[in-house]
Structure 1
């Protein structure tokens, strides 16, 4: 994501202490906290917002996804507990990162948001493992279906690189990288980069 100036964040969480703690950590790290809400009430001010951190409980996921339709705002979900179905729904919705409350620290919060702003998808290892099972059940991928260029881009995505980093590494334009990623997602029947990497890794493509 291309941003001018400090990245802006809106924090949605039902616990005031959690919200204020997140806000303090992010402000200290150079983020601009645009506002706070509980259950997405009041409705976050979305114009020009870089990241919406929301607590994925109840209908919050569907509401958060509706808020970012047509915008460049990235979603980061926090979780208290997640069933396998919930994890699938979050990833399928295109959420940029998932932060379980049990592993949330100031360092992981800041590192994750910086990565999301840079265009990287972040999933904790245990959630990624669940996703691997899901994509294997819902996709059929043959190694021969991907070109060498697509495999190269996939490998760099798996290394956590964003669009700009991949373009520099492979001497492509950023537009070319975006086109390759789009083709990859279409071929693999995946909605997000995280899904594509998970499937390709599981099937031994990369």
Structure 2
């Protein structure tokens, strides 16, 4: 088995020791010393939360290294998403979920060129991308247009599913489903979800 060279960067020695200790036990991974970090195929950044210092570290890794970066984080705040996207972070794992198997799964996914995100962060990312798309929409974009996921949410409401059931079916958080509905009703100037479903059906959008 070819071992994957991994460099770990942490905001304090205890965080670094915790991740390093778990990964040293795994034959799939070669833990690198700081002097050997240029051999890394994967960089793991371990922090409590994304602050200015960790943001600078991620930007430095992006500028100076071609390896893929994973972020192991204690608290992923709302405004952290933009920074992780800008810094090219390809995978995020919450520290509370970072057992041996998930750490190795993240590393092997990064080597394969895949991304890893918890389900609720996928919802946030889709929200973020949707906002970006709307901000650069052309002047000919009409209010009656629904994004694919907006149409799917309204279709499920029309079929009698509640917010919790929709979140399970679409692998979103309940908050994300509510945000989608709020966006649709606000953009189309509708009163509530029933009005939104009726509007979409009348205009052939679902």
TM-score by length of 2: 0.56
SS for the counterpart of 1:80 is strand
- Give the secondary-structure state (helix, strand or coil) at the position aligned to 1:72: coil
Contact kept in structure 1, 2:62 and 2:88, CA below 8 Å: no
Asked if structure 2 preserves the Cα contact closer than 8 Å seen for 1:98 and 1:122, the reply is yes
Name the structure 2 match of 1:21.
18
1:88 aligns with 2:82: yes
C-alpha contact 1:9 1:35 (8 A) present in aligned 2: no
For 1:70 and 1:17, locate their aligned partners in 2 and report how far apart those are by CA, in whole Å: 26
- Structure 2, unmatched stretches of 5+, are 138-179, 181-206
Per-residue deviation, 1:5: 3.8
Q: Name the structure 2 match of 1:34.
A: 32
Query: 1:95: how far off?
Result: 0.4
Cα pair distance change 1:90/1:10, threshold 3 Å: same
**Offset at 1:8?**
1.0
Q: Closer, same or farther in 2 for the Cα pair 1:57/1:105, shift >3 Å? A: farther
Partner secondary structure for residue 119 of structure 1: coil
Matches within 5 A, 1:39-58: 45-54=36-45, 55=47, 56-58=50-52
- Write out the 4+ residue segments of structure 1 that deviate beyond 3 Å after TM superposition: 14-18
Conservation of the 8 A alpha-carbon contact between 1:48 and 1:73: no
Q: Which runs of 5+ in 1 are unaligned?
A: 37-43, 143-201
Write the mapping of 1:114-129 to structure 2, written as runs, cut at 5 A.
Answer: 114-129=108-123
What is the match of residue 106 of structure 2? 112
- SS at 1:22 equivalent: helix
CA distance in 2, matches of 1:48, 1:130: 33
> Deviations for 1:57-88, whole angstroms, at most 9, x for unmatched residues?
43212223223425321111121212221122
Instruction: Identify which of structures 1 and 2 has the higher relative contact order when contacts are C-alpha pairs closer than 8 Å and 6+ apart.
Output: 1
User: 1:111: Cα distance to partner?
Assistant: 0.8
For structure 1, which segment, 4-13 or 48-57, has the greater mean C-alpha deviation from structure 2 after superposition? 4-13
Deviations 1:29-73 (A, max 9, x none): 22111136xxxxxxx754221111112443212223223425321
Cα offsets for 1:139-190 (capped at 9, x unmatched): 1599xxxxxxxxxxxxxxxxxxxxxxxxxxxxxxxxxxxxxxxxxxxxxxxx
Aligned to 2:68: 74
Q: 1:14 to 1:26 in 2, by over 3 A?
A: same
Alignment of 1:56-67 (within 5 A): 56-67=50-61
Determine the C-alpha separation between the residues in 2 that align with 1:10 and 1:70: 14
Partners of 1:14 and 1:60 lie apart in 2 by 7
